[in-house]
């Protein structure tokens, strides 16, 4: 969730993709969908899945979102792809992003592109930031509405990739995280 570094085109497995950004109203089925995916991840990795958390807008009741379930998977070492990638691929996930220069972040997704699985190493500050952001939005109506209105406004624009849209939200996300941390 910190500002992403300039992206090397090799970061995106398969290259950049043009997508439409569609924001929909909160769906009460999103937590159930997360739970299905959580069970699939745990079944694939067993105790190598140190934590599996529902993150992103679909994890915040009442928050409009892209209908994509974001999941944060904590592993011992996200750079050690051999320890988890094959099992996740066998469970139906495909590697989409490899960012050695950004906390060794990996992002996999379902073939339907409706689940994004973010993999980080245990102890990564990004895990804490994702959870802080999620928890704050769950309890703070004003920031939840600010974030929703920002997303709706940005979704009206034409973006070359989803990452361009995400990067444009950075200032708002960072301000919200600062308020959340100040209120801990």
Among 83, 170, 74, 78, residue whose Cα is nearest residue 128? 74
Note the pLDDT of residue 9.
Answer: 54
Note the pLDDT of residue 6.
Answer: 43
Domain ranges in the chain? Answer: 20-182
CATH T-level assignment (fold) for domain 20-182: Beta Polymerase; domain 2 (3.30.460)
- Residue spans of alpha helices (H) in the chain: 30-45, 85-90, 125-139, 141-155, 162-168, 170-182
Strands 69-75 and 51-55, how do they pair?
A: antiparallel
| Three-state secondary-structure class, residue 94 | strand
pLDDT digits (tens, 9 = 90+) for 26-60: 999 999 999 999 999 999 999 999 999 999 999 99
Q: Is residue 84 exposed (0-12), middle (13-18) or buried (19+ Cβ within 10 Å)?
A: buried
How confident is the model over 102-107, as a mean pLDDT?
96
pLDDT digits (tens, 9 = 90+) for 66-88: 999 999 999 999 999 999 999 99
pLDDT at 3 over 70: no
Starting from the edge strand earliest in sequence, which strands make up the sheet with 51-55, in order? 51-55, 69-75, 115-121, 105-110, 93-99
Note the pLDDT of residue 168.
Answer: 95
């Amino acid at each position: 969730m910190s500002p992403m570094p300039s992206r090397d085109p090799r970061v995106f497995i398969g290259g950049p993709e043009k997508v439409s950004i569609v924001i929909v109203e909160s769906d009460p089925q999103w937590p159930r969908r997360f739970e299905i995916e959580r069970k699939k991840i745990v079944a694939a990795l067993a105790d190598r899945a140190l934590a599996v958390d529902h993150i992103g807008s679909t994890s915040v009741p009442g928050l409009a979102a892209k209908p994509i379930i974001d999941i944060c998977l904590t592993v011992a070492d996200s750079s050690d792809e051999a320890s988890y990638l094959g099992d996740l691929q066998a469970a139906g996930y495909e590697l989409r992003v490899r960012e050695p220069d950004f906390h060794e972040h990996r992002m996999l997704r379902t073939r339907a592109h409706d689940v994004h699985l973010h993999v980080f190493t245990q102890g990564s500050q990004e895990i804490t930031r994702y959870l802080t952001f999620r928890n704050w939005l769950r309890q703070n109506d004003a920031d939840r509405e600010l974030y929703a209105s920002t997303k709706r406004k940005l979704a009206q624009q034409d973006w070359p990739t989803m990452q361009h849209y995400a990067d444009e939200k950075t200032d708002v996300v960072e301000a919200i995280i600062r308020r959340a941390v100040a209120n801990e």
